[in-house]
Each structure stands twice: as structure tokens, then as C-alpha cells.
Structure 1
Amino acid sequence: MDQLINQIRGYSFGGMTYEKGGLFGPIMRPYLSVIVIESGSCTMRSDAGSVTVRSGQAGVLAGRKRFEFDYLRGESTTVSWCEGFLPDIDPPVFEAQFTHFEPIPISERLRRLQRVGVSTGHASSADLNSLRNAIGLSVLRAFLLEARQDESEKKMPVRVLMAKRFMDDNISDETVVVNAVARHVEMSPQHLIASFKTTMGITPGKYLWQIRAARARQLLVHTRLSHAQIAFECGFKSVSHFSRSLKARIGNTPSQIRREMGFVQSSEMDTSVEEFFFD
């Protein structure tokens, strides 16, 4: 699929509510579409197969010769789409490049990208088309990323996945430690540590501080928040704890990270920036 989407010639976006359902198509040319279903359902069919996408899901499908959308008759369906036209591709090449993905839950990231794409409208210009193509590629890449994560998570034991998501969602809470995670997923700490390490290759404690350090690094590089604010946002117990942890896990102190990653204040905030006058 990664090779296939790199061949798309141009993207377009749209959205519609089909009050009574119905059939759209067929599109008789090489084609690929991502759809996001807010309510109702749609079955996409092509010569490569079919996929049924329901409310709260996103789905993707491609086809070489024929493509159609079947919205459930008698049911209102609200959908947005990102579509792209493919070049003519020999059947063996297409089959080698196309991967069939099951529908995935709509993430906020995917929903926002779709909204931005739809907002570009249908006008055409070099800059607008370039922007639309960049957003289209981002939608497809986001779908592939999340579909692969979804497949990976399906292979995880349920309680390990619950523990991972609990830590991901609560990194700012300094009371979230291994014992608290174990209570949340109704496992003993020892059982959680063993299961998590078998599945993830790392203990839950190390995973928790790993994601806290990664989030802290992101905030250091991309925001003007103080070290104290970042320490609080990422669940560190104190600024000194924050500094020691980053030094141990990343190899640099917060000040070094911010300096070496090129963080600077904007010119209206930085008093060291001099006024320039041109004759």
C-alpha cells in the first residue's frame, strides 16, 4: 500500500449526507478512497474486494478497473472522503502493492485532517492543488499508521493494552505508578510487569518514564513553557527530578535539549534582537 499511494496523481475531498442511502458509481478507472463515516454505513466495492465501513469508522479501498459506493438504503449516512486517481497498473504489480485493511475507529487526528481537506473545496490552482495533495497524502499515511497500530494492538492481551492506554492517557498524573496501573487493570503488580514485558519488551515502569521523557522533550523543543510547567505536565515530581530523569534517559538536561534543538523565542519576545534600518 505504501508504494501504491505514492503513485496517486491527485487528491480531492468531499462530504455529504445521503438521507436515504443509495449507490454511487461505478468509477471505471484506477481509484483509491478513504472514507470517514460519522453516521450510517457504506460498503465500498472494487475489483480488488470490498469493505463495509460503519458509524464511527474509517476505511480504505483501491481498485484497478471498477469502484462503487453502496450506502445502506433507507438509512441516513453522513460521510466524508479523500480520493485519488491512480495510473494504469499491471494486475501483478497492483496485487503486490495493495493491502486490504479492515475498518478502524475514527481518531481525532484523522477526523481533523479530513476536515481540513474538505475545507479546501473544489477550486483549482497550483498552490491549492499542492496543498490538497499534501493533505490527501497525510490522510492516507495517518490511516495506515493507525490501521497498523490497531492490528498490533489486537494481538496484545486485553489487560496489557488497557495498561498501555491508561499510561498513555495519564502521563501528567504523578500518582500514576506501576501499582496504580496494576489496580486499574485488576492485576497484581508482579503479574502486570511480567505480562507487559513479555508483550512490549519493556517493563511498565520503564515504558511510563519513556513516554513522559518523550513528551517532555517535545514540549521543550516546540513550546515556550517553563521547565516547571513541563515537569508538571509530564508527571515529574519536581524540577530536579525532571532534570535528572531527562539526563538519564535522553543524555541531556532540559536546558541542553532546548539549546541544542535550536529553540529560540519569537522576535517580538527576544530583547536581544536589534532593529534594522535600510537606507
Structure 2
Amino acid sequence: MNNSYDLFPYQDIVNTYAGSVVYPPGGRYGPRIQNDIQLVFLHTGYMEIEIDGTLTSFEPGHVILLKPGHLEQFKFSETKETWHRWISIHYSRIAPEAYAYLDSLPLCLPISEEFNRLIDLIISSQHNNNVESGLQRSLGLAALNMYVGESSRFKQHASIHPSVDQAKTVMQSRFSENLSLAEVASAVGLSPEHLVRLFRQHERITPIKYLWNYRILRGIELLVHSGLSVSEISVRCGFQTSYHFARKIKESIGHTPSSIRSTAWEGNN
């Protein structure tokens, strides 16, 4: 057994489910015993996780690997909302060598656009598929293997990833502003041209495309989980007008803001 497909076989997956939550300032969660392999995507705010008595802090823009059998307690930003999403993959059994393999992986990685698209798909597909369905279980395995693959890629490029991470953190904390490429590059001490090259190499998109994708992602989250008007969400997420917001959403996922909200709210009734 020498790769993740052998160590974490599809047939041993019981279910896969994903979710999203926004914690208010000063939020807490736990303690709990982790029962699944869980990937936590931190989008805004701040998170501290105490795992078996060891405290680690995480900044936005990272996906965190949590492993079964550990005692966890969560503490969120004291000053701002913390938005995170998660994918939980529940296995009927995990072999000792698989546990050892999980321990060899990084505790967290930068969130790539591919990972964002995958969790979008898992969450949206839950509306029409049981968490134990073949599709959801397959998507859970895809998420786990994506983490493995991106761990390898991150290790290969660790020497220059911090600059990309810093730029992503700047954009995630200031996405409501009218940010320019020059401002982002200046904030991380790079020329705009150098920053574009790094993003193309590691994220396969430009910094400004990343920023618009993040605005869209945050806008969808507010449509689903808040009662804010479309106009207010547009302003909060850095769009010029509500029409601009609606057009970008439609181009990205093929649905209007009103249809996204109505579908999500109907699913919760």
C-alpha cells in the first residue's frame, strides 16, 4: 500500500458531508472528539484549534486537516466574524498505516481555486444527493486525494509560496475595497509583474482573478446565510453595483443571486 488510493479505499467510506458556518466575534466550539477525516476551509476571520492540548493558530486562506481520534477545541476571532466551511469524510475503518500517512501530511495548506470549486460542488450536490450516495462518497475521496496532491505541490514550491499566501491574505481581508494589482503587490513587497508570475505558477490564475473569485465566493455565502439585501451584499463584497454582482455570479455559476437564495432557503425549510 503505497499511495492514498490504496490507504483510503472508496469502499470504506461511509458518508461525506460538507457545510458552512459564520461565527460571531468571540465564538467558541468544542471540546469534541473528531470522528472523521475533516478538511476545514478558513475564509475570513481567525481560528485557533487546540488538538490534544496543543494550540495552533490559522489565518484565512488555508485548509486545515483534522484527523480522527483527537480531542479538539476551537476559538475564533475576538474582533470580526469568522467564516469557514468543511468537508467531513467518515470511514468505517482506517488502517494503522493510513493513520501514519495522515500524520505525515501538512496540518494546513493554502486554499487553491481547485479546492474552492470542489467544496462548492460537494455542498451544492448535497441538495439532491444523500450523504451516503456514491456521488458524495466519490467527492469525499476526491477531496482527500486533492489534499494529498496539493501537499506534494506545496512542498515543492514552499520557498516562494509565502508571497502568494501573503497576497491572498491581503485580498481576503480587504476584498470589499477597490483594490488594484499595484496595491496588493506593494502590500507584499513585490512588483505587480512578479506577483502575477507567482500566481500563475502556483494558483494558475492572476491575482485580480483570484480576488474576483473570492468576492463571488463570499457573496454566495452571504446570499445563503444572511438576510442582507443583494445591494448590501454587493457593497460588502466589493462590487460596483448590484447589477455588476448579479452579472459576475451568473457568469461564474450560471444562477442569479435571487435563484441562489431561494434554492438555499427552500432547502432549509
TM-score scaled to structure 2, two decimals? 0.48
Based on CA coordinates, which of the two structures has the bigger radius of gyration?
1
TM-score scaled to structure 1, two decimals? 0.47
